């Protein structure tokens, strides 16, 4: 990430993917639902970007915008450049050999991602035949190789099987193999492990990491779980209600987070070293529906740091160091932020009316060997 936002430089030398001011809206009966608003980021070859957010934060829609998978009633704005090529222009001109070749995607549910009435081998071979012009026999041989690369045992046998004959973890590996078939330079993984067992999750994530490194493939890893991106992503982008809240290299994000939302997200992750019977800290409230223009910061109603300004001025992204951006009026760890929080805590409420006492009520019960009945 070496963009210089203040000067608004559009394209950065060396970056594989440049997204600038991406916005996606859906026209519905109730009005325009702004699913993504003003999202920008860069991706270098071989890098992993983690995109984190709750459901409805716009992370999947962003991915779909990049992959030209949005329905016809979606309104898309901004620019996306892949290796110097204008992605939206390619979409308009129905470019045939870009998606699925240079840029591919893996989805959340492997069961429904595969065509139930077609054999695995056939589905795998399809990209090879359509995009790379392989013959049927060659394609099937290559498909077998791909299955081996993703760690599926007995690849030859699998080629003749149907999706419902495989377990969830194997199916997801097949889906990954399908995405890798044509040697893409960018792989987008949208919650690739959410539908899988916990033990399998780690294997899949490790596999993705391994593939990325051996193929020098860039990756966008979309998840709602901050824990997933730690140690696996080079940069992390936190999204909320369609907006980018914070963007930073991973270690910076975890060590020096600036956005209250990021901080709250981190606190929701149960940690192994907290004493037992510590109540988990959820983020109260729910994400808003973003219809029509929003006044102020979208996170304000649920934010512990919100001040009056948060309700009227939408914060823009400001720099907090090398490659570290944050959109907040009272960021964590800054004087204004600390002040705001202290003020809210003593007042018992925030500018947005959030009850601050619910946080202080959480007293970790020391591990005294009591059968602490927490209500």
Partner 1 sequence: MTYLMRRLAFMFAVLVAVTFLAFSATNVIGDPLFNVVGFYASVDCDAVIAGEIEDVIGTVAGTGIGECERVIEAREKYHLDDSLPVRYGHWIVGMAQGDFGESYANQMPVSSILAERLPKSILLMGVSMVVALGVSIPWGVAAAYRANQRFDRASTAGAFGLLSIPGFALAIILFYFFVVRWQIFPSRYMDDNIFSRLHSLVLPAASLGLPLAVVYQRLLRTDLITTLQEDFVIMAKAKGLSDRRIMFRHVLRPSMFGMITVVGLNMSALIGGTIIIESIFSIPGFGRELYVSAIRDDITVVLAGVTVLATAFVAINTAVDLLYSYLDPRVRRAG
Partner 2 sequence: MPADTNEHTTSSSRTAKYWRKESHVNVAHAARMAEPAAEPDADRAVPRRLGVTFWVAIGWVALVTGAAVAAPLLPIADPDQIGIGPRSSGPNWDQWFGTDTVGRDMFSRTIWGARVSLMVGFFSIVAGFLVGGMMGVVSGYRRGWIDLVLGFVTYVMLSFPTLVLFLLVILLFGQGLWIVTAALSIVVIPSVSRLARAITIAFAEREFVAAARLLGATNRRVMAREILPNVLIPMSALLLLGLGLTIVAEGGLAFLGLSVADGFSWGKMIQLGAGLRTLQTAPWVAFFPIGAMFLTVLSLNLAGDQLRRYFDVRELGIGGR
298 sits near partner 1 (criterion: CB under 8 A) = no
97 sits near partner 1 (criterion: CB under 8 A) = yes
Strand order across the beta sheet in which 31-43 lies: 31-43, 17-28, 74-82, 85-86
- Quote the least distance from Cβ 190 to partner 1, whole Å: 10
Interface with partner 1: number of residues (CB under 8 A): 29
Q: State whether the Cα torsion 64-68-71-77 is positive or negative.
A: positive
Binding site for partner 2 (CB under 8 A): 26-30, 33, 35, 55-58, 61, 71-73, 241-242, 285-291
Residue number with CB closer to partner 2 (15 or 63): 63
Residue 322, SS3?
coil
By CB under 8 A, which span of 7-15, 114-122, 253-261, 303-311 interacts with partner 1?
114-122
How far apart are the C-alpha atoms of 212 and 205, rounded to whole Å? 11
Nearest to 70 by CA among 24, 37, 103, 105: 24
How far apart are the C-alpha atoms of 150 and 159, rounded to whole Å? 14
Considering only 34, 59, 131, 324, the residue that binds partner 1 (CB under 8 A) is 131
How far apart are the C-alpha atoms of 237 and 174, rounded to whole Å? 28
- Quote the least distance from Cβ 162 to partner 1, whole Å: 6
Residue number with CB closer to partner 1 (116 or 335): 116
Q: How far is CA 140 from CA 175, 219, 330, 345, in A?
A: 15, 26, 57, 64
Q: Which residues of 298-324 are buried (b: 16+ CB within 10 A; e: fewer)?
A: bbbbbbbbbbebbbeebbebeebeeeb
187 sits near partner 1 (criterion: CB under 8 A) = no
The one of partner 2, partner 1, none whose footprint includes residue 113, by CB under 5 to 8 A per kind, is partner 1
The DSSP annotation for 125-182 comes to HHHHHHHH---HHHHHHHHHHHHHHTT-SSHHHHHTS-GGGS-HHHHHHHHHHHHHTT
172 sits near partner 1 (criterion: CB under 8 A) = no
By CB under 8 A, which span of 44-52, 101-109, 304-312, 356-364 interacts with partner 1?
101-109
142 sits near partner 1 (criterion: CB under 8 A) = no
The one of partner 1, partner 2, none whose footprint includes residue 116, by CB under 5 to 8 A per kind, is partner 1
Residue owning tokens 């959109």: 327
Residue number with CB closer to partner 1 (116 or 375): 116
By CB under 8 A, which span of 64-72, 207-215, 221-229, 354-362 interacts with partner 1?
64-72
- Quote the least distance from Cβ 192 to partner 1, whole Å: 13
Residue 247, SS3?
strand
By CB under 8 A, which span of 175-183, 208-216, 280-288, 364-372 interacts with partner 1?
175-183
Contact footprint for partner 1 (CB under 8 A): 67-69, 96-101, 104-105, 107, 109, 112-118, 126-127, 130-131, 162, 164, 175, 178-179
């Amino acid at each position: 990430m070496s963009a210089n936002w203040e000067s608004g430089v559009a394209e950065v030398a060396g970056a594989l993917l440049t997204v600038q001011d991406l916005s996606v809206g859906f026209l519905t009966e109730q009005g325009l639902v702004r699913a993504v608003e003003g999202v920008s980021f860069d991706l270098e070859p071989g890098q992993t970007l983690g995109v984190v957010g709750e459901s409805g934060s716009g992370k999947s829609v962003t991915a779909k915008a990049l992959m030209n998978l949005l329905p016809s009633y979606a309104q898309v704005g901004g620019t996306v450049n892949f290796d110097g090529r204008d992605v939206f222009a390619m979409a308009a001109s129905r470019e045939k050999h870009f998606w699925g070749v240079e840029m591919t995607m893996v989805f959340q549910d492997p069961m429904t991602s595969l065509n139930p009435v077609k054999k695995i081998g056939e589905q795998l071979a399809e990209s090879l035949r359509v995009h790379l012009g392989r013959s049927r026999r060659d394609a099937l041989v290559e498909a077998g190789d791909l299955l081996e690369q993703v760690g599926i045992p007995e690849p030859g046998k699998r080629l003749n099987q149907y999706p419902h004959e495989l377990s969830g973890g194997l199916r997801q590996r097949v889906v990954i193999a399908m995405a890798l078939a044509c040697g893409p330079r960018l792989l987008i993984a949208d919650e690739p492990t959410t539908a899988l067992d916990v033990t399998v999750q780690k294997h899949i994530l490790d596999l993705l990491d391994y593939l990325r490194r051996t193929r020098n493939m860039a990756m966008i890893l979309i998840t709602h779980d901050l824990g997933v991106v730690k140690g696996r992503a080079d940069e992390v982008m936190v999204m909320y209600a369609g907006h980018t809240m914070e963007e930073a290299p991973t270690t910076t994000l975890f060590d020096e987070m600036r956005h209250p939302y990021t901080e709250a997200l981190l606190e929701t992750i149960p940690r192994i070293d907290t004493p037992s019977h510590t109540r988990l800290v959820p983020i109260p409230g729910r994400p808003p529906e973003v219809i029509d223009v929003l006044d102020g910061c979208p996170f304000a109603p649920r934010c512990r740091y919100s001040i009056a300004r948060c309700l009227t001025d939408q914060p823009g992204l400001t720099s907090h160091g090398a490659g570290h951006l944050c959109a907040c009026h009272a960021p964590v760890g800054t004087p204004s932020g600390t002040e705001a929080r202290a003020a809210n805590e003593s007042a018992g409420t925030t500018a947005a009316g959030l009850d601050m006492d619910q946080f202080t009520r959480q007293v970790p019960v020391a591990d005294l060997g009591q059968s602490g009945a927490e209500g």
